[in-house]
Amino acid sequence: MTVVTRFAPSPTGFLHIGGARTALFNWLFSRHHGGRFLLRIEDTDRARSSEAAVRAILDGLSWLGLEWDGEPLSQFSRRERHAEVAQALLAKGHAYRCYCTPEELTAMRERALAEGRTIRYEGTWRDRDPGDAPKGAPYAIRLRAPTEGETVVDDLIQGQVRVGNEQLDDMILLRADGTPTYMLAVVVDDHDMGITHVIRGDDHLTNTFRQRQIYDGMGWDAPAFAHLSLIHGPDGAKLSKRHGALGVDAYRDMGYLPEALRNYLLRLGWSHGDDEIIPTEQAIAWFGLENVGRSPARFDFDKLASLNGHYMRQADDERLATLVMDRLPAVLGAAPEAGAAERIRRGMGHLKERAKTLIDLAEAAAFYARPRPLTLNDKALKILDEAGRRTVTEVGGAIAAAEWTAEALEAAVRGFAETRGLKLGAVAQPIRAAVTGSNASPPIFDVMAILGREETLGRLSDVAK
């Protein structure tokens, strides 16, 4: 049997991090089994769905590298099929017409609440003669759920979960306006799409019991279910939009690489012994539902950053240079100097060693793109005191005629320091401050080599005494 999974977001906003993990696990599972990974947009709620949100979700998935098979399916486009199934259920006697008005239902809920009873549909029309209904009155179709016994779900992650049927009321399948509810639509679509494994958030676990009853009513085999525990915020609270849940685009903007986010998300709830660095190819080879944990996890930016640092060090210099150039105008507040792209490309090997995000990287690279004279930060200013400036002046003269390579420059500066009885650091730091405007930078001789003779000497003379 070919494995078919799906990711089924509702287009009411961006692709948030929890959804991204759900999508990742579905994708990984299908790829591991050589199966298919489908996309379905749950847009039956027309009022809350938007094209822009669909776009944002698709973009988010693409950026994350989770390519889906085939075209995304619009759930709304299948509304007639959903209605057809509701009618079939009606014909089989597994559903019935309910003429209650929304007002009556609200009243019913409030009464239950006031009396401290469980909020459930009381089954007003379950066994009532439809002939009692006012002529031409609108009606919804409800599932005639079993009232005795229990409904059992064998969840691949949560294990066997069961609930007494008396807990479940008769849910609406088809609204009075003829549109399907989510409960009906998911079941019909998952069935028709041939989904073999439904991997989704834990918040759907209790829904599964009711969906199970629809499968049973239609005599369909239900897919296997696997419910992922939710991701919480750093404070342990639910990661909701109100609590600052972010779309994957926000993570991109914060300078994280998609492969780092994939690795991070993978380890949130899934493990393979003590392994931490798990590139995607390896993840596909290893992934399985047996190793998914059951407890909820909190989101930890520090760990993401650490992983991101790792993947940046592995990343191709050319690619990183391009990403940095994209961000540079914002960092500089101006267009980069001519030649900046080339310098940054050449300096990337050392730059990427010392950054955790692309934001760090762009900031660290900025000195390659700034115009003279450089603005010095506080630490650089402190290094370039009276003595520091004198050192810079003298060393400028000492290296002016040197061969312009990192090795030759280092030899020249070391020689200079030795003749003055200075430690290398006492010379290198003032140079660094003058050349980069900062107290911290990639190895200074490499920086000088990349900057070139003219620019380097110019920057030195800008602060010279």
Partner RNA sequence: GUCCCCAUCGUCUAGAGGCCUAGGACACCACCCUUUCAAGGUGGCGACACGGGUUCGAAUCCCGUUGGGGACGCCA
Told to check if 308 binds RNA by CB under 7 A, we report no
Under rule CB under 7 A, residue 420 binds RNA: no
Integer CA distances (angstroms), 414 to 427, 442, 448, in order: 9, 18, 15
CA 374 to chain centre: 38
Our CB check for RNA shows the closer of 74 and 461 to be 74
- The tokens describing 54, both together, are 């669909």
CA distance from start to end of the chain: 78
* Span 314-333, contacts to RNA by CB under 7 A: none
Q: CA–CA separation, 308 vs 321, rounded Å? A: 16
Q: Which of 57, 60, 61, 71 is nearest to 27 (CA)?
A: 61
Out of 74, 282, 306, 377, the residue judged to bind RNA by CB under 7 A: 306
Q: Which of 92, 135, 238, 241 is catalytic?
A: 241
Residue 98's DSSP bridge partners are 140
Nearest to 343 by CA among 459, 457, 448: 448
Nearer to RNA, 37 or 43 (CB): 43
Verify cis geometry, omega within 30 degrees of 0, for the bond prior to 373.
yes
**387 interacts with RNA by CB under 7 A:** no
Our CB check for RNA shows the closer of 136 and 159 to be 159
Question: Which of 42, 190, 259, 363 contacts RNA by CB under 7 A?
Answer: 42
Shortest distance (Å) from residue 367 CB to RNA:
11
Q: Tell me if 149 contacts RNA by CB under 7 A.
A: no
Asked if residue 377 binds RNA (CB under 7 A), the reply is no
User: Binding of RNA at residue 152 (CB under 7 A)?
Assistant: no
232 binds RNA (CB under 7 A): yes
What is the DSSP pairing of strand 197-201 with strand 224-228?
A: parallel
Integer Cα distance of 440 and 355 in angstroms: 12
Is 423 known to be catalytic? Answer: no
* Residues between 330 and 359 with contacts to RNA, criterion CB under 7 A: 353-355
163 binds RNA (CB under 7 A): yes
Helix (H, G, I), strand (E, B) or coil at 352: helix
Residue 173, C-beta contacts closer than 8 angstroms, at least 6 positions apart: 85, 86, 89, 95, 140, 141, 142, 143, 180, 181, 183, 184, 214
Q: Which of 48, 55, 92, 465 is in the footprint of RNA by CB under 7 A?
A: 48
Among the listed ranges 138-146, 217-225, 327-335, 452-460, the one in contact with RNA (CB under 7 A) is 138-146
Positions 171 through 230 that interact with RNA (CB under 7 A): 172, 175-177, 179, 181-183, 185, 202-207, 229-230
Distance between alpha carbon 220 and the CA centroid of its chain, in Å? 34
Candidates 26-34, 66-74, 318-326, 439-447; binding stretch for RNA (CB under 7 A): 439-447
Q: What token pair was written down for 56?
A: 């944002």
Q: Which of 69, 249, 276, 455 binds RNA (CB under 7 A)?
A: 276
Task: Compute the least distance from the CB of residue 3 to RNA, in Å.
Answer: 20
- Which residues are the active-site residues? 241
